[in-house]
Structure 1
Amino acid sequence: MGFLADALSRVKPSATIAMTQKARELKASGMDVISLSVGEPDFDTPDHIKEAAIDAIRRGETKYPPVSGIVPLREAIVRKFKRENGLDYKPSQTIVGTGGKHVIYNALLATLNPGDEVVIPRPYWVSYPEMVALAGGTAVFAETDMAHAFKLQPEELERVITPKTKWIILNSPSNPSGAAYSHAELKALTDVLMRHPHVWVLTDDMYEHLTYGDFTFVTPAQVEPGLYERTLTMNGVSKAYAMTGWRIGYAAGPEHLIKAMDFIQGQQTSGATTIAQWAAVAALDGTQEHLARFRAAFQDRRDLVVSMLNQASGT
């Protein structure tokens, strides 16, 4: 055991991946298993996105890409943030990674020193504290409760911030709770953050398009422009475009942070798969008509599950 890095002792295995692998093994043995462990849309990737990937192969777009992403994708990311979130970025303020997890991890690697704290509202996606630990930081959990629909309250955020706090990770809509913050709810949190200029905001907006009813999605830098210079806004194509296996996540933020993340990525994985990047260009710039269909199907399923749970007896 002495050969392995001490960092491994600080980290637990990914519960999501372990459960997913167990489901695969049970299916392979002939059991009828419904796996709810990983956020895997069961829709196929829309045809225009697949065709863009095929066209890229035929054009010979199969060489090493730039570390931060191909220029057409970074430009498409700029257009997406402007069109959907009202946020103005330059391509040089964007970066592409192999999924959202990769982007978050690189941001933490590029910024955390021993003793730095990262605030994570609880319940949380299982990888957040483990990535913080691997990067040498300390996860600090901010509690939520059912009475507030598992949404972080400003008083609790104020309580957990210390002089050592470097980041807060805000995930809305949340995995696993589904909590989604309205403009007013997010503004109450950003008001707290404006009083603590040493705290940066790392958003996980991966489920942006999977909201129901008349809910309107907003992201922190959109709600409070004063946070623009200390916010990394992360998103990706996995959920909204049924592109989990394409492994494309992206983010935008201050240029000096993006350059630091590029530096890390250049020595780590280099650029994401070129073909998948061209597919992501088509996803972000192409028709969005499938989103309403995806959303309606997910809402029907949610409503069915809630109805069945409410009919269940016992404690």
Structure 2
Amino acid sequence: MSTKKSPSLFRQGIASEVKLFFLALLCVVLIIVDANWSFLEPVRRLSSTLMYPFQRIALWPKDVVNSVYDWSKFVTQTEEQIRHTESARIENARLNMRAMQMETENVQLRRLLGVRETVDVPSVAVEVLYTPAHPSKESIVLNKGSIDGIEPGMPVIAEGGIVGQIRRVTPKTSEAALVTDDKTSVPALLKRNGIRVLVFGSGQPGQIEVRYLSLDVDIKVGDELVSSGIGGYYPAGLMIGEITSIETNSAQGFVRAIVEPSAHPDRHRHFLVLLHTPIEEIDETALLED
């Protein structure tokens, strides 16, 4: 006799709804028990311990991204701080240099005012605009011209003495040939003994010379030269320079003296242009007494 099974539709057992109800009730009971007596705390600890490595692995990409972002932000901020610090340092250095330059210029201007009081000739203060790029000429371009009364031939002086002579003039600028220019000459006296000489530019910066002196001339290293006033362009008594060496050419029968100019136009920006030099008899005795 065969055994017949009941169709699944008529199977006996606990209904799904009942199972769900009891499971839900069990969950509620467990929640209440755990809330009051921490019944499931060991289970939670164990599960947390077992899951921690997997949590770290899952969070590793995020940690890497955050670390890279923080490092990049730190580098950017550091570079910006370095730039700001360097800019501030450069600006402070520039301001300090400018302050020193202004102080130097103020000192020179005060000295020029003192020179103006000692020279009985009208003058105008000028400032160097630039130095022309002439390989064979020693000159400077000044910021004042004919509208300020400047004319060719007028002398340019500084607190140290003669700087040069106005060569060309425009309404608002003028060009001065320095005493070192090889086309420049200044009638002079040896301050020690009154010997008249003529000082020429050598064409080299920082050097002028006295040429064609006789072999028996009374001249020595350290002698100072001043303008004689002969010719009317330069007032008498202005410092020209000091003899630094003497060269004797016995074969040709003359002596040449190398002179260091007393004025240094490469070190200053402000000078005086003497607007008028009257031509008159020069008292050489008074020059020697000075």
Q: TM-score, normalised by structure 1?
A: 0.24
TM-score, scaled to structure 2: 0.25
User: Which structure is larger by alpha-carbon Rg, 1 or 2?
Assistant: 2
Considering fraction of residues, name the structure with more strand.
Answer: 2
Name which structure has the greater RCO, CA cutoff 8 Å, separation 6+: 1
